[in-house]
Structure 1
Amino acid sequence: MALRIHSFFHQQSATLCYLVWCEHSKHCLLIDAPADFDMPSGELSFSTANEIIAYIKQHKLSLQWLLETHAHADHITASSYIKQQLQHAHPCKLGTGEGIVHVQAHFSKLYNIDMPCNGEPFEQLFADKAQFQLGEFTVDVIATPGHTPDSVCYHINGNVFVGDTFFMPDSGTARCDFPGGSAAELYDSLQRILSLPDDTVLWMCHDYQPDGRALAYKTTVKEQREQNEHLKGDKQSFIAIRESRDATLAVPKLLHPSIQLNIRAGQYPLKSDDKQHYLAIPLTVLL
């Protein structure tokens, strides 16, 4: 029995997406699949998603789950697109953390979106410590709020897909200044991950390659505990470091389109009377 993991790197958003499968059953899941978006033109495309689809077909895998670690603010999810493309051959379901209902409630008001805030169109909302099967393997869901209230990690056979919690040790941890974010909650979430065995492999959702170093996408609990630059002190020290850094960070470039689509699992807004899809950008007017 073997678990296989293949990563895809999305250069535009520095996002790492993971295809994970049980070698015996060929059942697979996909975590944090990105779409491509050009802000000046409003062009949405799917080159990375199509690469993933081709890989699934080439290796004769059966896609069971399209999972999100949270509603991302820096890239648009391709989950609904992939589900649509594979729906006739694959029984895949959309899944995310149950906190998505709070994220939907907040941002549907901000963007004036008429939508149910009950988790739809996600088909499975995972509570903390939920479990499900991937072939011969059990997947454990770990709720990790702090970056966002809906953040979860997926623990599979000694591997944790950490979403926006940890970055590589030289990059620290994820920001906590989004609505519902909390540096104190993130610290507690990080400690849950650090309580796992030392050799547990942690798979990053992003790598920004500081100082131009080579791409890195996995580390271990032991390495994070010993080397993470934001975790060299106690909880109060972490909160101070995290909140101070967050105060200097710019708004993600794709914040508005990403959130509006991602709270709907990547489904497009309804077309207007002129048969066109539109997204909103709230104005902050400084006089």
Structure 2
Amino acid sequence: MPEGHTLHRLARLHQRRFAGKPVEVSSPQGRFASSASLVDGRVLKRAEAHGKHLFHVYGPDATVHVHLGLYGTFDEHPLPATTPVGQVRMRVVGGTHWADLRGPTACEVLTDVEVAAVHARLGPDPLRRDADPDLCFARISKSRTPIAVLLLDQKVLSGVGNVYRAEVLFRHGVHPLTPGRGIDRALWDVLWTDLVLLMRDGVKVGRIDTVRPEHLPEVTGRAPRKDRHGGEVYVYRRTGMPCLLCGTPVAMGDLAGRNNYWCPTCQPG
């Protein structure tokens, strides 16, 4: 599932390409046809993201809400638009570009009240200016749940996925099973600040890089990472490989139904 930086990157792209002008909205597949007709031809006021959710805001009581889920993708192209191929849930056509949405978990038109309800159930997003890290800490500091589980709880912290959670915990030597209430305020401030920096970089470059400059392949002489997700990381999907800092084999285990990665030496229990 795309992590939060991907949705913010999409929001910025759609803001540049479609916002401020009337757009054509359709559903070649048909599943979104009646909802698409509600916004077709209207001016897209803005595109924004909150966590793993994308919002196309058209005006009073008309916002298209998209959650990509595991399989959702947007294809972006310059005009002219071509004949739809495959199951296109939503097509957006602007003055210079068009975009096709396929396979999302959610694609719906919401009222302002419904949009507010979506935002209300999501935790603070490190990439949003209105994010409140105090709210996250208030929830985390009272919980016995492992910090690695809390970081993926979108009601606690929005936009962080499996890669960012594994990497930020490694970067600060935190064992993933540490209970939330075992994270003091100073450590939380460090984790939050690092997430903001890492995720902003993800928006900028379009991939997740978490390895510090001194540990990059061109410095250490190791081979660059080869993975469809791209990016240089410390522990994510490096099971059994030597830790880039200490050489200990990276561990992997199931935690709340998700693969969890850590270094037993750098992140002692």
TM-score normalised to structure 1 length: 0.26
TM-score normalised to structure 2 length: 0.27
Larger radius of gyration: 2
By relative contact order (CA 8 Å, sep 6+), the higher-ranking structure is 1
